[in-house]
Each structure stands twice: as structure tokens, then as C-alpha cells.
Amino acid sequence: MEGNKPMATPPGVSPADFDAAIAQLADVVGADWVFTDEETMDTYRDAYSPLRGEEEEKYASAAVAPTTVEEVRQIVRIANRYSIPLYTISTGRNLAYGGSAPVYSGSVVLDLKRMNRILEVDEDLAYALVEPGVSYFDLYRHIRERGVKLWIDCPDPGWGSLIGNALERGAGRTPLPYRDHFGAHCGMEVVLGNGDVLRTGMGALPEAGPNWQAFPYGAGPLADGLFAQSNYGIVTKMGFWLMPEPEASMTGAIRARRHDDIIPLVRMLAHLQYAGIVNCLFSLNSPVFQSPMDARKSALLDRADGGSAAEWDDYAGSLGTHFWETRLRFYGPLNVIEAQWEHVKARLGTIEGVELTDGDVMRFPLTDDQIRRLGDPATFGVPSLSVFTSQAGTTGHLDASPMLPHSGEALLEAHKVYLREYRDAGVPMTLGFAMSYHTRAFIMFQGINLTLDQEENARARALYERLIRVSGDRGWGIYRAHAAFMDQLMATYSYNDHALMRFNETLKDALDPNGILSAGRYGIWPRHLRGSRA
């Protein structure tokens, strides 16, 4: 790469070979769907890149957009013939994690956005089968227009791909198992590095029918997990379980008064979740920690111990506020969810001073007017773009998101550690607390805003790398990383002299011996690039 300009050809590929490959790709998909011009290729940059304008920013040399599995197979064969590195995207909406830009600069983006068919929606068996270009908006509209009594689960920005988000192990807002997007998938079709096609689970049977989306395992090893956060194949179809529309929904608000109340609160909520009484996404928030900075709060945060529980309780008293709050939402028959909330109140009522307040009740289906007025649409399986209203004044952000166990003690310790890192780095704290995305773990969102100022972005990158190291050292593994930091993240998963990465590289060599698929994704480099980390 020269300066800030895209590479004209992939590394190590001669102009003559590249021109021949581009001509053959055009024969496969049509000349209108092979892109090399600078204006179009600029759209394949990372819109939120922390390396924007830097020498190290990642660029693609070209892009190709097929519409069928057979076209994908032919593209893979051409790439093997000319040693063209491909970088697969579903719709390229992976904002805060690298967008559509390749990990390995100069790769040709394999853009699957035109593979956008909703192949099947079965209301009785509550599943959908889709291609990579299908967005949450697409599937939602399909279901809504046909009056199908099923809900999708979507992340905050609804324009992304179901398949892309699931392969990144993303999550949404409705009850489990549906909000765990990879956990709620059932069956996939994959094009391998040699152009061969396989189907996982029951899809490997010649006449699997709806069993492909009903039973995830089939016989023998379960291969699906190999294709999440990896570069072993190109997923071209994927099934998802969908949530039957509930009769009603209701909420209950919880407020706990003292700093250390989070310990029994988390313990009780966790057990209620394991028992199936609580099955919603809930966020643990602190009006005290999230209040505006003042001299007294700053002094507590600067203390070596981060301030004692008694001191924080005294500070909360000076603000006239409680320390912790969350809201639970229940879904199902009204008499059942009312009983669930009553049981929760009986359990949490043993915490001294806790406030438990009945909330709203909603009945389904919602009218179009009700949907337009929703304050938290994703909680009801309705995709939107409202999350971007919080990005005013920035050019994007990074998300460093460690996973922590359901332990109040662990959350308090992590909060102190991460607050210290932000303050030491001189980066404004946009630290979230904890959300119950998954069955047995919290995610602690840590946003780092990006700007057009290179010095500020350098501080953001340094903090991001520091958060990766600190999290790994303490066993609070970050589960997903921006493409520019995948090597650093995977280096923290280092047990037994990086046995996991050695295993990953063995699989890479077997499944993609020419190393043409998405080089560098999650630190998995083909043999000829290991050590270069280009």
C-alpha cells in the first residue's frame, strides 16, 4: 500500500494475473458486479476505522458480488487459480468491528449482499431459512406483511445481516434462546476453500426437509461452530429459530439502595434466570457511577482501592439516589407472567431497602401506531436504526466487550479496573455496566469514541489494546474484536503455548490449503502469511 491509497492488486499477485482474474470474475457474475474503481472501493472502507487516514488502514483491491451458490463456487475456484485472497462479507454492516474492510489489505471483497432471498418461513415450526444478504429489516417486513405470528430477534442496528451477526456471535433483546443469534441457528450451508459445498446437521441428508432447521446436531461431529468467527468457509444459507408471538408482556422495575446490594441482587437474578423464571435481557445500571463527574466522585475514583462501599454509599446519599437499578420484562400468557413477577418480588424483597415497582402491560399483536411509538423496539423484535442517535459528535466507536460470570463481586472488581484504565488513558468514560445477553455470563460494554483527530484516535487504539490485555490477564475474555485488533485478542487466548491457535492453524491448512479465504480473521493466517501479520 502506498500512503492512504488502495492497493491496485492483492499482495504478491502480478497485474497480469489480477487482470485475468477480474475478467473471469466478470464472466461469472457480470461486469456490473465486479468493482475496481476508486469511488466504489471507497465504500468498502471501514466507516468507523480507528486507523482512518493512517498508513495501516486496510483496503480492498476489488469487490465481487455473486447471487448464487454456484457463482460463489466459481469465484473460489478462480481465486485458487490465481492466488487471489478473498474477504467475505454478508452486507458489510459490521460497524465498530471493522465494517466491510478486509483484515488483509489488498484482498478482494466477496460481497454476498445480492444473495438476499428469504428461502422459507415456517410458522408452525417457528423457523426461517435465509441467505447472507437478508437483513433484519428484510425478514421483519416479510413476516409482518404476511401476518405470520413469529418474532425475529435483532441487534440495535437493524440493517445488518442475520447470518453475519450470528457468525460474529451477536445478540439481541428478546428472550433466550432467541437473542443468542448463533445459539438460535439451526443448520447451515457452506462453500469450502476448494469450492466444495457442505450442509451441516440434518442438512447432510439428501432429503432432510424441515428437520434441517428443527434438529441442529445430525450425526457425528458438530461442524457449525467451526464457521463462526473464522475463515474456514463461506456460509451461504443458515436457519434460525424464531420466537412465537406472545400473548402479552409486562415489566417490573428494581432499585437497590447500597453499593454492595449488587452481590445478593445478581445472585438471586442469576438463579431465577437458571430456573427459567427470568428470561429477558436486563441491564444493571448505576445512577451513582453514571452520574456527572464532580470533585468528590473524582477523588474516590483516584483512590488506589477505588473507594470503599461505605464511602460510595455516603456519596450516593449526597446525590439523593439509589445505587443500582434494572428492569425486567416478561413475555407470555398474562396470568403466567404476572405469577413470575410476583415470585421475583418475593425473592428480591429479602434485600433490605429494595424497591420493586410494577410496570406496563402490553398485549400483542401491536398496531402500526403502537410500533411507531416504541421506545425500545428491539425488545419486541422490531428492527430500527435508533442506536445511531447516540453517536452524535463522533465518527464512530470501538466496542471492547469482556464477558464476566454472574457474580456481583466480579462486576464490582471489573468496574474498578476498567474505570482506572479509562482515567489513566485520558479517554472520556463511556463505560457501560452489565447486560445479561447470555445464559450464564454478563457482557460489560466498553465504548470508545472515535473522531477525525489522529491523536485522539491513537489514544483510543492504545486504550483498546490495553483493555484486551487486562481482560485476558484477569480471565474476563473479550469475545469479539475490531478487525484491526484480532491478532492482539487471539494472543490472549494463550493456554498451553497457544494450543488453541495451533489447532486453528491446523484446520486452516486442511480446509483452505491455498489460504484464499479471509486471511487474518480472528488471528487465523494462512501458512504463507504467518509471522507477517500484514
Task: Give Cβ neighbours of residue 393 (< 8 Å, ≥ 6 apart).
Answer: none
For 280, the 3-state DSSP assignment is coil
Helix (H) or strand (E) holding 332: strand 324-332
* 95 within 8 A of 168, measured Cβ to Cβ: no
Is-catalytic flag, 59?
no
Residue 389, all three cell numbers:
442517535
Residue 340, all three cell numbers:
413470575
Question: What is the Cα Rg of the chain in Å?
Answer: 24
CA dist 479 → 250, 266, 442, 533 (Å):
31, 21, 11, 21
Q: State the Cα–Cα distance between residues 479 and 168, nearest whole angstrom.
A: 9
Q: State the Cα–Cα distance between residues 66 and 83, nearest whole angstrom.
A: 19
How deeply is 402 buried, as exposed, middle or buried, from its count of CB atoms within 10 A (0-12, 13-18, 19+)? Answer: buried
Task: Give Cβ neighbours of residue 22 (< 8 Å, ≥ 6 apart).
Answer: 34, 36, 62
Other C-beta atoms lying within 10 Å of the C-beta of residue 305:
8
* 504 within 8 A of 232, measured Cβ to Cβ: no
End-to-end C-alpha distance for the chain, whole angstroms: 10
Spatial strand order in the sheet of 446-449: 397-400, 446-449, 430-431
Active site residue: 93, 258, 329, 480, which one? 480
Is-catalytic flag, 480?
yes
Q: State the Cα–Cα distance between residues 39 and 44, nearest whole angstrom.
A: 10
Q: What is the 3-state secondary structure (H, E, C) of 49-86?
A: CCCCCCCCCCCCCEEECCCCHHHHHHHHHHHHHHCCCE
CA dist 314 → 62, 254, 284, 317, 419 (Å):
60, 21, 20, 5, 20
Active site residue: 97, 104, 140, 418, which one? 97
* 227 within 8 A of 188, measured Cβ to Cβ: yes
Residue 62 CA to its chain's centroid (Å): 26
For the chain, the helix, strand and coil percentages under 3-state DSSP, each to the nearest 5 = 40, 20, 40
Residue 231 CA to its chain's centroid (Å): 17
Closest CA to 323 of 262, 414, 251, 404: 262
Burial 222-231, CB ≥16 within 10 A → b, else e: ebbebbbbbb
Q: Which residues are catalytic?
A: 97, 479-480
